[in-house]
Amino acid sequence: MSNLCEDTVEQGTLELLKSIGYEIISGPEIAPDGTSPERKDYSEVVLVSRLRDAISRINPKVPVEAREDALRKVLRLENPNLLMNNEKFHEFIFKGIDVEYPIDGRVKGDKVYLLDKDPLKNEFVAVNQFTIIQNNKNRRPDIVIFVNGLPLSVIELKNPTKEDATIWSAYNQIQTYKSEISELFKYNELILISDGTESRIGTLSSNKEWFLPWKSIDGTSEINNGVSQLKISILGMFDKTRFIDIIKNFIVFKKDGKDIIKVIAGYHQYFAANRAIEKTIEAVSGNRRCGVVWHTQGSGKSLTMAFYAGKLAITPELRNPTIVVVTDRNDLDDQLFGTFASCIDVLKQTPVQAKNAEDLKEQLKVVSGGVIFTTMQKFSVDELNAKYPMLSDRENIIVMADEAHRSQYGLKAKSVARNGEVGITYGFAKYLRDALPNASFIGFTGTPIDFEDKSTRSIFGEYIDIYDVRRAVADGRTVKIYYESRVAKIGIENDVLAKLDAEFEEVTEFEENYKKEKLKGKWAQLEAIVGSNDRISKVAQDIVNHFEKREETLTGKAIVVCMSRRICVDLYDEIIRLRPEWHNDDDKLGVLKVIMTGSAADGTEWQKHIRTKGKRKELAEHFKDSESEFKIAIVRDMWLTGFDVPCLHTLYIDKPMKGHGLMQAIARVNRVFRDKPGGLVVDYIGIAQDLKYALVNYTSNGGTGKPTYDIEDAVNLMKSKYEAMKDFFYGHDYSKFFNGTNIEKMDVIPETLEFILNQPDGKKRFVKLALELIKSYALSLPHEEAIKIREEVAFFTGVKAALYKNTEISGKPEDELNSAIKQIVSGAVRTDGIIDVFGEAGLEKPDISILSEQFLEDVKNMKYKNLALETLKKILNDEIRAKFKNNLLQEKKFSEMIENAIKRYHNKAIDSAAVIQELIAIAKEIENAKRRGEELHLTEEELAFYDALSDNDSAKEILGTEVLSEIARELTDTLRKNISIDWEVRETVRATLRVRVKRLLKKYGYPPDKAQIAADLVLKQAETISKEWMNA
């Protein structure tokens, strides 16, 4: 493992790319001053000659002038917004570039394509160490993937054996590239980051949480162990055919509020959509049952549907099919239509919504093509025993059903009485079959088909692909859902709970919203009990208390689900009575809102909650914004299916729910948001049995992992982490922090830091324990067990902050402000007490340039020797990095001196007083070293080369400081004049420079037996300094 380094990983990646047919080229070779130049200057990121040749090869019938016009359009993407430039280029990739040229006395419009339709006829090149200079910034990505001369992908690699070199340092490197060499990313389609073992794929706009693993090579199996993720990513994603397929058909630019985000399909979406295409081709000429795709809620099912529809539209075997997308509710139709409407580029056409049954009939009269959205209810008949009229008998109509498990999709006959007449009606699927007798059906679902449901399979067929909860959580596409019952706290009677049975469900679930309100009888009786004044008062109080405690640690939102609109309004009024500041008449302000439909016939008290469709859409966008004031939404049916709010962390359920409706609702809280530890479902009505049934159904369908976890699981995890923390602090009493005098409290944090630093690997162990405890605590709140340890968790949070501030910790989080978990603050933790450890110890923080004997004496007498040692170490290392960043010899020398002193202390070779004295001595030596340049009349750069030359004693003895200083001056001048971009990775240039250095050393009589070592040191030193020369 010790032989594994970043270059090894890079070379291994290049070998993998070569094995799948990529040409491998060294960046310096094709640089402007390389042996085979392909760029005019270092600001060029496109290999223009290759692109020109490709355009000519792919578009032979287009005149040269028009081809050159297309080339100019590619090279001149000049929007000031990088993502908009990238979107425009992506449009060029899949649509082609519009050109015009004169022919036979008229102007002809045409297209110029950048990629050949046959993936294998494109030119794939992997270039390593590709240097780019933009605005005097010199950057060199590890590997750039060029297709037909276009830089479509960047691969950034880190050393797997170096603790600080993680995929996240690769991610941070990409962010620097985007800022400093943005020209390269105008053309970027996907980014791969890896440390050789862990690998993740993302796009130009992906945040950390959306760089995700690619876990399959060919889609036949998911590979988790035994094979490096980097190998799977390269062989799985960069295979030439798949790479082009992904770029053309599986990337979409979506509007996310005010922002545009670029989304690339996950491996599960890519392989599921392609497998579904294969099954569809078979079904059209067979039994017309394509199958069912089960992708767990939150894993991107709607996008999978869009990717499938887009690829379907260009599948030659289907002859430009018409796609009918069917949902079972108007609001779901709107939500899914919204997703498809944002994916027009992928769909290659604009989807339409059927306004009513007559409009649907008109839409279906088209000869081919089209994506039509409709609800199942439009396939209904008014008369008993009637048959729905045939709309089209074409075979290339594909019906895509969202949530394909619902019972109304069935074919089953049902005897009903209507207006005194008894007759037969059927499930909507029967009428849909009547209307489109030769259509093929495919189902998409976020929850498994009921194992007793035969009709769904008879319509759609068997599973095509399953992506379950276990895989989604493991891949980081969703978070775990926890369940907390608070039924007992509200006190609903058992006989009321007993009424929440299948009969109740049947009467309410499948009616449109406006009809539900008119239902009487059993539902009305139950609604009166659930919505009684006393009960609403209890629920309101509990929600307020519960949410406020959740808000202490988690950034985000909550949804409350009520049984009726009346209860929604009454609950709102009661919560506002408790928290009047949460109300605001302005939709852009206020914490609490009711989201429901209604009409002018509803009472005046309800009217303020009834909004137009447009206003509800605005509120939805407002709710999705994690920074908005709108924190809690009260709903009855809306926003419970297909509504994505990543920052939603809590769902309060006070409505009878079962089956798929329940599973869809609870999945609202499983979306990934920053480092959100999980989602929580709070039960006020008694859905525990329904969740158990859902689990049975889930596992019987082959699902792995658990759809929900009991909140006690989170609490037990928190308790185990708490116990581990208590074990860590065995022998250390920090209780005075909570019950001591102010003076005693002041001492506790430095004493605690001293204790941590005195433990073997104490910093690393404590930080790991603290992060795990804080996360499980945030998940458990407001459970009473969490409340019990709140002050201690706040204390540990403060200690962690002090440790970060005053010591060096590898892998320290760069941006805790971007965390979903808020800083847990106790009134007992003073900010000044956790920031300045020297202040706590009664000392002024030292400035190493003016260290005094008195300070040394004070440190010797300090009670907290480990803390003083760690803080001094941090101060000195920071100073070394700042003062000697361009002097490798001095940086190495002083760093090793510090580490050796610390090592001897940990090995008990010296005591704390001695090691502190050594560090003080090193600090003084650092100060003296900084002044050497003035004494020798050398610049900082010249001094760095002087140190490289004087690294051996014989040279100093033979030549003396004056001669070595003269060599350093001449050497600096020679190197500055002869160093060029990429010189350090060009062996011919290095060899030439090495010869020049040796000649110079020989000229001044440098000891011949040491000349080779000195020359190597000089060149190594030059690598560091030359970066600044190149950027100057």
Q: What is the pLDDT of residues 65-92, one digit of tens each?
A: 999 999 999 999 988 899 999 999 999 9
How far apart CA 811 and CA 497 sit, in angstroms, is 51
Domain ranges of the chain: 6-261, 265-467, 481-699, 714-835, 848-936, 940-1031
pLDDT for the residue numbered 460: 86
First to last CA, the chain: 38
The DSSP code for 581 is G
Looking at mean pLDDT, say which of 80-89, 597-606, 845-854, 962-971 comes out highest. Answer: 80-89
Domain pair 6-261 / 265-467, same fold: no
Strands 421-426, 413-418: pairing kind: antiparallel
At 881, list the tokens. Answer: 């990095």
Task: Give the pLDDT score at 257.
Answer: 65
The structure's pTM equals 0.82
Residue 896 pLDDT: 84
pLDDT-derived band at 921 (thresholds 50, 70, 90) equals confident
| The pLDDT of residue 425 | 57
Tokens of 843: 């000392």
SS3 of residue 301 by DSSP: helix
Both tokens of residue 705?
């992992």
* pLDDT, average across residues 235-252: 96
Neighbours of 348 (CB within 10 A): 17
Mean pLDDT for the stretch of residues 380-384 = 62
- Go through the chain and tell me how many residues it has: 1032
Q: What is the pLDDT of residue 4?
A: 52
Torsion of CA 627, 628, 631, 634, to 10 degrees: -140
pLDDT at 900 exceeding the cut of 80: yes
Closest by CA to 396, choosing from 319, 449, 495, 306, is 319
- Mean pLDDT comparison of 132-136, 167-171, 583-587, 821-825, highest-scoring range: 583-587
Residues 6+ apart with CB under 8 A from 1027: 138
Instruction: Identify the top-confidence range among 30-34, 244-248, 369-373, 856-860.
Output: 244-248
User: 655 or 452: which carries more pLDDT confidence?
Assistant: 655
User: Which range, of 181-190, 697-706, 840-849, averages the lowest pLDDT?
Assistant: 840-849
844 has pLDDT over 60: no
Rounded mean pLDDT of 910-915?
76
Residue 906: predicted pLDDT? 72
Residue showing tokens 């529809």: 309
**63 confidence band (pLDDT: 50, 70, 90):** very high
Q: Is the pLDDT of residue 924 over 60?
A: yes
User: Which residues in 205-217 are b (16+ Cβ under 10 Å) and which e?
Assistant: bbebbbbbbbbbb
Whether 443 contacts 456, CB under 8 Å:
yes
Q: By percentage, how much of the chain surpasses pLDDT 70?
A: 84
More confidently predicted of 831 and 397: 397
The CATH superfamily assigned to 481-699 is P-loop containing nucleotide triphosphate hydrolases (3.40.50.300)
pLDDT tops 50 at residue 833: no
Residue 666 has pLDDT above 80, yes or no: yes
Q: Which tokens sit at 759?
A: 């433990």
State mean pLDDT over 164-175. 87
pLDDT confidence bin for 226, thresholds 50/70/90:
low
User: Is it the case that residue 95 has pLDDT exceeding 60?
Assistant: yes
Q: Does position 388 have pLDDT exceeding 70, yes or no?
A: yes
Say if residue 449's pLDDT is above 60.
yes
The reported pLDDT for the residue numbered 317 is 92
179-183, 281-285, 538-542, 777-781: lowest mean pLDDT where?
Answer: 777-781
For residues 820 and 906, which has the higher predicted lDDT (pLDDT)?
906
Between residues 288 and 890, which one has the greater pLDDT? 288
Q: What per-residue confidence (pLDDT) applies to 177?
A: 95
pLDDT higher than threshold 80 for residue 162: no
- Rounded to whole angstroms, the Cα distance separating 718 from 785 reads 9
Least confident range from 18-32, 111-125, 398-412, 709-723: namely: 398-412
- Nearest-angstrom CA–CA distance, 198 and 224: 11
Report residue 494's pLDDT band, with 50, 70 and 90 as the boundaries.
low
pLDDT over 70 (residue 679):
yes
pLDDT at 175: 93
Residues 758/759/763/768 CA torsion (nearest 10 deg): -160
Summarize the confidence of residues 326-342 as an average pLDDT.
Answer: 80
* pLDDT classification of 713: cutoffs 50, 70, 90: very high
pLDDT for res 512: 39
Q: Give me the pLDDT at residue 455, please.
A: 63
Q: In the CATH hierarchy, which fold is given to the domain comprising 265-467?
A: Rossmann fold (3.40.50)
Q: Does domain 6-261 have CATH number 1.10.1740.10?
A: no
Mean pLDDT of 749-763: 88
Give SS3 for 864. coil
937-964 average pLDDT score = 79
Q: Any residues with CB less than 8 A from the CB of 353 and at least 6 apart, and which?
A: 333, 337, 372, 373, 374
pLDDT at 509 over 50: no
Task: State residue 412's pLDDT score.
Answer: 57
Do the beta carbons of residue 444 and residue 309 sit within 8 Å?
A: no
Pick the most confident of 679-683, 873-877, 963-967, 1023-1027. 679-683
Average pLDDT, the chain: 83
pLDDT band at 1010 (very low <50, low <70, confident <90, very high): confident
24-38, 96-110, 497-511, 887-901: which has the minimum mean pLDDT?
Answer: 497-511
Alpha carbon distance 56, 1032 (integer Å): 40
Q: How far is residue 31's CA from residue 44's CA, in Å, rounded to a whole number?
A: 10
Position with higher pLDDT, 384 vs 669: 669
Rounded-to-integer distance, Cα 237 and Cα 48, Å: 25
Q: Which DSSP helix (H) or strand (E) runs through 294?
A: strand 289-295
Choice among 30-44, 163-177, 953-967 with the minimum mean pLDDT = 953-967
Mean pLDDT of 37-41: 94
> pLDDT at position 722, please?
95
Render pLDDT for 537-569 as a digit per residue (tens, 0 to 9): 999 999 999 999 998 888 899 999 999 999 999
Q: Residue 724: what pLDDT?
A: 95
Residue-wise pLDDT tens digits, 205-221: 999 889 999 999 988 87
Q: With cut-offs at 50, 70 and 90, classify the pLDDT of residue 526.
A: confident
- pLDDT of 810 above 50: yes
66-70, 869-873, 1008-1012: least confidently modelled range: 869-873
Q: How far is CA 923 from CA 856, 892, 901, 935, in A?
A: 11, 15, 13, 19
